[in-house]
C-alpha cells in the first residue's frame, strides 16, 4: 500500500529536517514511537555540529518515547524545545541544566494547543504506521497519542511503515478529533468501548514526502517484580474499593478505572485482578500495561479504552498471537479523547496515579524533585484527577532507604491541589480526604500514610503550625527538603546518627 509514495532511506528522510524546524513525532511511551528517522536526524545533527553549524529542532510528541527518539536526539544535542513529556535520563539532565527548553503540559491539551496555534506551526510530522494508502489513510501501530493532529496540521509528512506490527491493530483504533469551539458536539461515548471515529487518520497524500520501511519492535521496557510496598498499596486500594461498594458509593461492578503508568500502578492492577471481592470491570485509561492484558485474558477485565499498548515485548507478541481474544476488548484512541474531561466525568472514572510526594493537606507533586528538578512531566494525571469520580494518588511512604519521606509538611511543587485529590495511599495505609477539613486531613495523612519514622516530625510540625484555616509554619514548611539538599536525608542528624 505504499506504491504511491517515494521510499526513502532513514538518511534521506532526515535530510528533510533542518535547523529550527518544529517536528512532531508519534509515540505515547515507547509504544508507536518512530525509530529510525529520529536516529538518523541525530546523526545529521552530529555531522552539522562537527562542522561548527547549528542544528536543533523543536520536538513535540504525544508523551514520552523510546531511546531511539528522545535518547538519540538528546545525546546529539539536537533538541532546542521539548513538549509535553519525557522520560529519558539524558534529556532530563539537559532540561534541568537549562540546555533544553521544556514546556510541561497536560496531555489532553497537546492537540488543542496545536489546533489553536498556541505552539506555532508543525513543519514536519514523523509518524509510525502499519500502512498508508494512496488515498491518504494512515493506519497507526501501538499508540495514537496526538498523531492524527500532527498529520493534519503538519506542512509535510514522513511515515515509518513498520512491518513488525500486526496489521489487525486497525481493528482496535478509533480516530476522532473534536472540532474547535464554539460549536462542539457532545462526545458520543457512553461506554468505555464505544467507537465514534474511523480506524485510520486521513491526510492529504500530497503532504507525504516519503515512507521509510522498517521491521522493528517497540522499545518497551520491563516491569519490576512487585515489591512489598507496591503489594501493600494494592491491598489498601482493593479494600477501599470494596468498602465503597458496600457503602453504595460505587456500584457493584465498579466504575471504569484509570491507572497511571509505572511499576506501582501495574502492581495495583494485578492486585485488583487477584481479589475475589472485585468483580469484572473496565478500564478507561491512557496506557494499557502488562497487568491489564493479563486481566483481559483471564476475564477479570471486560475491556479497556486506552491511548497506547505500553506493554513488554513478550506481552505484545502474546496479544498479536491471540488477536481474536483482544480485538473487540481494546480500543486505542487519541489522547484528546482518552484524557477528555467530558468523557472522564460522564463515565465516572476512578483515577489512580502515582505521586513523587504529597503533603499532609493533600497537595500532590508529580513532577519536580525538591521543587526544581523536573522528572518526567505532569502527563495525564491532571486530566483525570480533576475530573474523576474518585481521584487517588499512590506512592511508597519512603524512598532511598528511608532518606526521603513521600509525605512532607508542604509539597515543594504543586501539580494537584487539595481540592482535586480525594484519596492518598501509601504502603502504610490510606487516607480518605473527602469532606475533611485541612486539620482533619493532616491528622489522617500523618497517621495513615506517613512512615512511622517520620510521623513524630510531622506531628511536631502540625502542633507548631500557626492557627488558621490551613495550619502552616512557613519558617519550617520546607525543612524536610532543605535537610535532604544539605545532608542527603530528610531526617535530622540526631535521628540518623544511630541508624
Half-sphere exposure of residue 218, counting CA atoms within 13 Å on the CB side?
A: 31
C-alpha–C-alpha distance, residues 74 and 90, integer Å: 6
Residues belonging to the chain: 499
The phi, psi pair for 187, rounded to 5°, reads -70, 130
The one catalytic residue in 286, 314, 342, 495 is 286
286 catalytic? Reply is yes
Q: Which residues touch 167 (CB under 8 Å, ≥6 apart)?
A: 130, 131, 139
**Under 8 Å between Cβ of 65 and 85:** no
C-alpha–C-alpha distance, residues 437 and 15, integer Å: 59
**Under 8 Å between Cβ of 393 and 421:** yes
**Under 8 Å between Cβ of 392 and 103:** no
What residues form DSSP beta bridges with 331?
Answer: 305
C-alpha–C-alpha distance, residues 177 and 478, integer Å: 43
Q: What DSSP element (H or E) covers 351?
A: strand 350-354
DSSP string, 410-472: S-SS-SB-TTT--EEE-SS-EEE-TT--HHHHHHHHHHHTS-TTTHHHHHHHHHHSPSSSS--
Secondary structure of residue 172 in the 3-state scheme: coil
C-alpha–C-alpha distance, residues 165 and 320, integer Å: 8
Cell 503489594 -> residue: 231
C-alpha–C-alpha distance, residues 86 and 145, integer Å: 13
Return the active site residues. 286
Amino acid at each position: 500500500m505504499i506504491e504511491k509514495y517515494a521510499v526513502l532511506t532513514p538518511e534521506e528522510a532526515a535530510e528533510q529536517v533542518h535547523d529550527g524546524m518544529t517536528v512532531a513525532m508519534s509515540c505515547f511511551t515507547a509504544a508507536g514511537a518512530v525509530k529510525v528517522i529520529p536516529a538518523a536526524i541525530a546523526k545529521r545533527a552530529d555531522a552539522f555540529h562537527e562542522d561548527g553549524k547549528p542544528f536543533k529542532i523543536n520536538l513535540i510528541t504525544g508523551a514520552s518515547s523510546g531511546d531511539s527518539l528522545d535518547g538519540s536526539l538528546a545525546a546529539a544535542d539536537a533538541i532546542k524545545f521539548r513538549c509535553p513529556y519525557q522520560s529519558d535520563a539524558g534529556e532530563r539532565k539537559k532540561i534541568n541544566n537549562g540546555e533544553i527548553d521544556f514546556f510541561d503540559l497536560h496531555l489532553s491539551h497537546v492537540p488543542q494547543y496545536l489546533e489553536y496555534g498556541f505552539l506555532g506551526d508543525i513543519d514536519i510530522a514523523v509518524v509510525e504506521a502499519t500502512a498508508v494508502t494512496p488515498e491518504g489513510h494512515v493506519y497507526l501501530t501501538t499508540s495514537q497519542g496526538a498523531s492524527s493532529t500532527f498529520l493534519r496540521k503538519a506542512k509535510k509528512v514522513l511515515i515509518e511503515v513498520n512491518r513488525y506490527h500486526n496489521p489487525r491493530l486497525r481493528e482496535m483504533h478509533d480516530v476522532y478529533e473534536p472540532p474547535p469551539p464554539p460549536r462542539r458536539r457532545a462526545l458520543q461515548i457512553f461506554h468505555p468501548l464505544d467507537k465514534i471515529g474511523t480506524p485510520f487518520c486521513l491526510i492529504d497524500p500530497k503532504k507525504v514526502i516519503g515512507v521509510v520501511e522498517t521491521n522493528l519492535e517497540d522499545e518497551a521496557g520491563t516491569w519490576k517484580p512487585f515489591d512489598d510496598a507496591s503489594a501493600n498499596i494494592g491491598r489498601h486500594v482493593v479494600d477501599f474499593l470494596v468498602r465503597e461498594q458496600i457503602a453504595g458509593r460505587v456500584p457493584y461492578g465498579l466504575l471504569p478505572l484509570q491507572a497511571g503508568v509505572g511499576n506501582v500502578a501495574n502492581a495495583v492492577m494485578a492486585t485488583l485482578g487477584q481479589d475475589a471481592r472485585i468483580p469484572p470491570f473496565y478500564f478507561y485509561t491512557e496506557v494499557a500495561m502488562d497487568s491489564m492484558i493479563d486481566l483481559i485474558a483471564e476475564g477479570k477485565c471486560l475491556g479497556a479504552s486506552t491511548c497506547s499498548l505500553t506493554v513488554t515485548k513478550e506481552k505484545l507478541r502474546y496479544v498479536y498471537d491471540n488477536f481474536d481474544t483482544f480485538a473487540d476488548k481494546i480500543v486505542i484512541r487519541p489522547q484528546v479523547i482518552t484524557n477528555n474531561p467530558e468523557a472522564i466525568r460522564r463515565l465516572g472514572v476512578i483515577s489512580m496515579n502515582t505521586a513523587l510526594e504529597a503533603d499532609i493537606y493533600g497537595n500532590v507533586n508529580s513532577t519536580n524533585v525538591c521543587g526544581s528538578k523536573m522528572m518526567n512531566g505532569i502527563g495525564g494525571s491532571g486530566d483525570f484527577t480533576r475530573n474523576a469520580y474518585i481521584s487517588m494518588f499512590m506512592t511508597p511512604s519512603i524512598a532511598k532507604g528511608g532518606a526521603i519521606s513521600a509525605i512532607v509538611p508542604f509539597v515543594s511543587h504543586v501539580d494537584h491541589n487539595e481540592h482535586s485529590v480525594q484519596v492518598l495511599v501509601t504502603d502504610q495505609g490510606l487516607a480518605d480526604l473527602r469532606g475533611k477539613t485541612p486539620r482533619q486531613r493532616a491528622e489522617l495523612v500523618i497517621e495513615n500514610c506517613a512512615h512511622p519514622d517520620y510521623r513524630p516530625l510531622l506531628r511536631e510540625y502540625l502542633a507548631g503550625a500557626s492557627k488558621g484555616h490551613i495550619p502552616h509554619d512557613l519558617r519550617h514548611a520546607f525543612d524536610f527538603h532543605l535537610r535532604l539538599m544539605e545532608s542527603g536525608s530528610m531526617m535530622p542528624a540526631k535521628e540518623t546518627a544511630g541508624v
